[in-house]
C-alpha cells in the first residue's frame, strides 16, 4: 500500500512522485508496482491503478473478438416462441423495433443505447485508442476518445440485459413453447469478452501510453 505523505514536505515533491486518490482526495507518495500488482488507497480502499502485462496487445485481441461477436449477438435470434402454430423470434434489435413501433420511442431509444449503441461505441473507442497507441498516430485524438470512453462506461448494460433475457425466459416458459437461439450464445460470449477487456485494459497504463509519458506503459 502507498504511504500517505508527510505534510511538511509534500509541496517540494515533484508531481510525478505523487498520487492522489480519485475518490477521497488523499495524497500519497507514488508506489512502484511490479507487473501484475495493483495499488489501493489506504483510506477508502479505491483501486488507484494496476500494472498489467502486455496491455495493448491483449486488449486489442479482445476488442477485435468483441467486435466480431457484436453483429451475431444483436441480430441473431436470442429465443423463439411457438404459440398455436405461430412462431416469433426475438433479437436485441427486434426488441428495440418493437418498442419503437408501438409508440414508445423514448424507451426504445434508451434500450437501444444501453444494449446496442453504447456497447458498440465503447468498443470502437477502445479500438481507436489502442490503435493510436500501437501505431503511434493521432495521440491527441486518442486522449479525447479515451475521455469519451470513460463517460460512456457506466451506460453500457449488457449484463443487465442478459438478466432481462433470463427473466423473460422464465416468464414465458409456462405460457408457450420456447427455444433458445444462437444469438444468446453470442450475446453471452460478447458480455464475457467485454468484462475481460475491462479488467485487462488498465486505464492508468493507457493514459500514460497515450500521453507519451512512458513508452513502455502498454508493454
Could you say whether residue 91 binds other proteins (CB under 8 A)? yes
CB of 62 to other proteins, least distance (A): 22
Per-residue CA distances from 163 to 152, 177, 187, 208 (Å): 21, 20, 12, 36
**In the complex, minimum distance from the CB of residue 100 to other proteins, in angstroms, rounded to a whole number:** 10
Q: Which is nearer to other proteins, 99 or 123 (CB)?
A: 99
Site for other proteins, residues 122 to 141, rule: CB under 8 A: none
Q: Which stretch binds other proteins (CB under 8 A): 19-27, 56-64, 121-129, 189-197?
A: 19-27
Size of the site for other proteins (CB under 8 A): 71
- Indicate whether 215 belongs to the interface with other proteins (CB under 8 A): no
What's the chain's length in residues?
Answer: 219
Q: Which is nearer to other proteins, 61 or 157 (CB)?
A: 157
State the nearest-atom distance from the C-beta of 192 to other proteins, in Å.
18
* Binding segment toward other proteins, per CB under 8 A, in 40-48, 63-71, 128-136, 186-194: 40-48
Q: Are strands 79-83 and 177-180 parallel, antiparallel or unpaired?
A: antiparallel
Under rule CB under 8 A, which residues in 70-89 are in contact with other proteins? 78-79, 81, 83-84, 86, 88-89
Which residue from 34, 36, 174, 216 is in contact with other proteins, where contact means CB under 8 A?
Answer: 174
Q: Does 1 bind other proteins (CB under 8 A)?
A: no
Stretch that binds other proteins, among 23-31, 52-60, 68-76, 117-125 (CB under 8 A): 23-31
- If the CB atoms of residues 59 and 208 are measured against other proteins, the closer one turns out to be 208
Distance CA 182, CA 176 (A): 19
Of residues 177-206, which lie at the interface with other proteins (CB under 8 A)? Answer: 203-204
Closest CA to 209 of 26, 20, 59, 22: 59
Q: Is the dihedral of CA 76, 78, 83, 88 positive or negative?
A: negative
Q: Which of 56, 50, 95, 58 is nearest to 75 (CA)?
A: 95
3-state secondary structure of 72: helix
- Detail the DSSP E strand segments found in 74-158: 79-83, 86-90
C-alpha dihedral sign at 75, 78, 82, 83 = negative
What's the grid cell of residue 90? Answer: 426475438
Binding residues among 144-173 for other proteins as defined by CB under 8 A: 144, 146-147, 150, 154-155, 157, 160-161, 163-168, 170-172
Kind and range of the H or E run holding 183: helix 182-200
The helix/strand/coil state of 182 is helix
Amino acid at each position: 500500500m502507498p504511504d500517505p505523505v508527510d505534510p511538511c514536505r509534500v509541496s517540494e515533491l515533484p508531481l510525478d512522485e505523487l498520487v492522489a486518490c480519485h475518490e477521497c482526495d488523499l495524497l500519497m507518495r507514488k508506489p512502484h508496482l511490479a507487473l501484475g500488482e495493483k495499488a489501493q488507497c489506504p483510506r477508502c480502499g479505491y483501486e488507484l491503478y494496476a500494472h498489467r502485462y502486455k496491455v495493448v496487445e491483449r486488449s486489442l485481441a479482445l476488442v477485435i473478438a468483441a467486435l466480431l461477436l457484436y453483429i451475431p449477438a444483436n441480430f441473431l435470434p436470442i429465443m423463439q416462441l411457438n404459440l398455436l402454430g405461430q412462431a416469433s423470434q426475438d433479437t436485441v434489435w427486434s426488441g428495440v423495433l418493437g418498442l419503437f413501433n408501438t409508440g414508445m420511442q423514448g424507451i426504445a431509444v434508451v434500450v437501444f443505447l444501453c444494449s446496442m449503441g453504447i456497447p458498440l461505441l465503447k468498443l470502437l473507442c477502445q479500438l481507436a485508442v489502442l490503435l493510436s497507441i500501437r501505431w503511434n498516430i493521432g495521440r491527441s485524438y486518442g486522449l479525447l476518445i479515451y475521455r469519451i470512453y470513460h463517460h460512456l462506461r457506466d451506460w453500457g448494460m449488457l449484463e443487465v440485459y442478459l438478466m432481462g433475457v433470463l427473466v423473460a425466459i422464465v416468464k414465458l416458459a409456462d405460457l408457450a413453447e420456447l427455444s433458445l437461439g444462437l444469438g444468446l450464445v453470442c450475446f453471452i460470449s460478447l458480455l464475457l469478452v467485454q468484462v475481460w477487456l475491462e479488467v485487462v485494459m488498465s486505464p492508468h497504463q493507457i493514459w500514460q501510453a497515450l500521453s507519451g509519458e512512458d513508452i513502455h506503459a502498454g508493454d
